[in-house]
Structure 1
Amino acid sequence: MAKLSPRRVLTYLAVAGLSTVLAILVLNNIYLPYHKNWTPISKELYDVISPSSYRYILNQPDLCEKKRPYLVLMIPVTLRETEARTAIRKTWGHESLTSGVTILSFFVLGQPVQNNPTLQLQLERESKEYWDIIQMDFVDTYQNLTIKTIMIMNWIAKYCQRAQYAMKIDADTFLNVPYLVNYLHAKGESSRENYITGSVIRDGHPKRNSLSKWFLSEDIYPDTSYPTYVSGAAYVFSTDLALKIYLASRFVQPVPLEDVYVGLCLRVLGVKPVYSTRFLRLRNLFEVRKLKYDRCTFDSRITVNGFKPQYLLKIWYDFQKARFTC
């Protein structure tokens, strides 16, 4: 690695210091109505999750500006999930599902642990054909989903702030787009700022068993409970929150559970997630369980979890009949 000159080192430190000061001023004076004295995490920790530590390999910086979407769908995938991307483009990620509003879908990914030139070339061809790929050069693993999530927030804040809403949604999730659009329209002004909704979790606790997929050691997270957060399978938020969450990340120690991490950022901001329910809170509209497919049951949900690409394609034609029969 080339050695930096003293002058460049001083310049780098000055820029890093200025960005921290800016984040503190913005959060304290604008985004923290219930002020708390949050302390920035160390530069070494922040560099792990900061999008400025990575570079774009593929990007779509102008698409939101040209199309000005009402809703932008951000879908985390890996390089190998070609089938999932294809199925989503043919089903709930298709732009023609709603009239009167523009919805854009983007697939967000990093690089695999082991370089795969063949798949990378295929991805680049996909990008040229569909214009829906955003890729950065961090290592794309389950443990790095927090990096991917902050990348999503930064991308929306930088390139898609004119959209009214954004949604982070996993590739194995079914999405009822018309229902979601109608739901957001019904919310009106109450959901235009500091708004985030999904399957809300209020009683989460860290798993201390090292064999658990969701294991968190006390060294990384000493608290015995999590703040309120939304399940990472799917959540919707007003786009103003993207920049705020990105700035709040300067004050939150990274944890490998991205949905918990977003909840920790929301705690810094003083923002509380909102339940999405109907019928006096008896039905969660963001279903985190895997339900057996039923046309009218799915028509009464925004999302349902646990879909393989082939099954999503299989039920999609039948689901289009729901608007006439349910």
Structure 2
Amino acid sequence: MDKRSLCLLLICINLCLVIWLVSVQQSPMLEAEIITDSSGSGSSSGSGSISSTPQPPNSANGLRRSRSKPNQIYQPSRTPSNNDSSSLVSNTFDNHLGTPPSLASQTPSPPGSSMHLMDLPNFVYLIDQPACDKDVRVLILVHSAVKNVEKRRLIRETWANRSYIDQTPLRVIFLVGGVGPNSEEWQQFLGRENHMHGDLIQGNFRDAYRNMTYKHVMALKWFNEKCEHAQLLVKVDDDVFMNTPQLVKYLATPDLPENSMLQDPDLMLCRVVRHSRVKRSYRSKWRVTYKEYPHRFYPEYCPGMAIVYGPDVVRRLYEAAQKSKYFWVDDVLITGILAEETASKITPMKYYLESKDVYNLLNGDADLEDPPFLFTNHAIKPDESMAIWQMALDRIQRPLLTHPAYSSPSAASKSAQIVPSAIISEAAQTSSTALS
């Protein structure tokens, strides 16, 4: 073959390659589908003191970006008791797979046991919490990355403020994964954070982007085993503002249609994603191979930033996940693939507070309850969260809503206010009387 023919052949090959790359390149993922990268850290510092939060380790001693496979986990040398994590790190991990000799030879636990999480045979909680009290009606599990200290602090100062939450039938807990080898300072920091706030649950899988399915299934597991009597499980990301006063209002007002909807044990409420094409481009962060998922489109599913589950759905999805092959896109697997397998139907959520809606609200061009919302979109700014929370408190202060829904089942005849006494001093005495 002469040089001219060879050059033409090479040009044709390159042209075909370019056409192929263009054809497989997908458009950017919808904003609603974006999943927060677990390696990202919380930004800015909304108003309020941060002196009550232990300071994180310096970045030089922080987390290393994980490149492990999803099933390369860290095995603990012992099972800690509640709130015990500061001394876990010594002799816990080896230099390679993170499996200490004392556990490497153990027989894997059978599927369905308390030490089984999907394909992880020796799952345990590095940090755990007591089971839900009988008066908890809604368990809110916030998916957070280890380094997202500021995001957790902001949530504790706003919509999960203890002085408010403790007067409602809600409970808020943060979920994180393992810190990885050579990150003892981060583990000690988590121990101090949990000792101070008592609201962390930590699994012994690596806290990595492609391990979020483990965290999601851990949420289903914890609810199923320690809070199964509750009416709802809410799964929410740590960069979303949740309108907890609006949820409490729904629970407390039988005349609202949302009240009966939230009592459905088969509820799976979210913003539905439909006709989402599988990303195949090598340049896409969400690239999925044909081996991982062979079809062109995903089934309809819930974006993981905010999902409300009824207890029967939690049970079905958890049992299905325990038998399922691991797939790293957690919301697609759990609320799409497994939801189809278990005949769990999605109830579309009508309204989210988008970025433009937040802007209009804070500029006085919209009302907090026109229309009412349960969640903002992801990546809300700290100052926006603080401002919306203050607006919610101002709204609470005006009508002192009381209803038996705020009392435990054993004291259904009593009513309790949703007004946080530590924040609204004028309502404190009234609240104390109503709770007595």
Give yes or no for the alignment of 1:53 onto 2:126. Answer: no
Q: Structure 1: which 5+ runs fail to align? A: 21-46, 278-284
Q: CA deviation at 1:50?
A: 4.5
Give the Å deviation of 1:114.
4.8
Report the residue type matching 2:341 in the other structure.
V
Question: Deviation per CA, 1:257-291, whole angstroms, max 9, x where unpaired?
Answer: 111111211111101100122xxxxxxx2346674
Which of residues 279, 282, 306 in structure 2 aligns to 1:210?
282
Aligned partner of 2:217 in structure 1 is 150
Contact 1:84/1:308 (8 A) holds in 2: no
* Contact kept? 2:320, 2:342, Cα under 8 Å: yes
Which range moves more in the overlay, 194-203 or 183-192? Answer: 183-192
Total equivalences in the alignment: 283
Tell me if 1:90 matches 2:90.
no
Instruction: Choose from 325, 343, 357 the match for 1:270.
Output: 343
Mapping 1:292-303, distance limit 5 Å: 292-293=358-359, 294-295=361-362, 296=366, 298-299=368-369, 300-303=372-375
Q: 1:223 to 1:321 in 2, by over 3 A?
A: same
Q: 1:95–1:102: 8 Å Cα contact kept in structure 2?
A: no
1:37-186 map, 5 Å: 49-50=118-119, 52-62=121-131, 64=132, 66=133, 68-97=135-164, 101-183=168-250, 186=257
| One-letter amino acid of the counterpart of residue 127, structure 2 | L
Aligned residue type for 2:184: P
Residues 83, 309 of structure 1: 8 Å contact kept: no
Within 1, Cα distance between the matches of 2:165 and 2:219? 24
Q: Distance in 1 between matches of 2:103 and 2:287?
A: 38
Q: Which residue of 1 aligns with 2:352?
A: 286
Residue of structure 1 equivalent to 2:65: none
CA distance in 1 between partners of 2:321 and 2:329 (Å): 14
1:136, 1:318 → 2: CA distance? 36
1:199 aligns with 2:286: no
Change (3 A) 1:3 1:188: closer
Match of 2:393 among 303, 315, 320: 320
**Higher gyration radius (CA):** 2
1:20-66, Cα deviation, whole Å (9 max, x unpaired): 9xxxxxxxxxxxxxxxxxxxxxxxxxx7744653221100033x0x3
TM-score (norm: length of structure 2): 0.58
In structure 2, runs of 5+ residues without a counterpart are 1-100, 399-436
RMSD: 2.9
> CA shift at 1:241, angstroms?
2.0
Work out which structure has the larger RCO, using CA pairs closer than 8 Å and 6 or more positions apart in sequence: 1
Per the TM alignment, residue 120 of structure 1 is displaced from its structure 2 partner at its CA by 1.8
Q: Distance in 1 between matches of 2:177 and 2:104?
A: 27
- TM-score (normalised: structure 1): 0.76
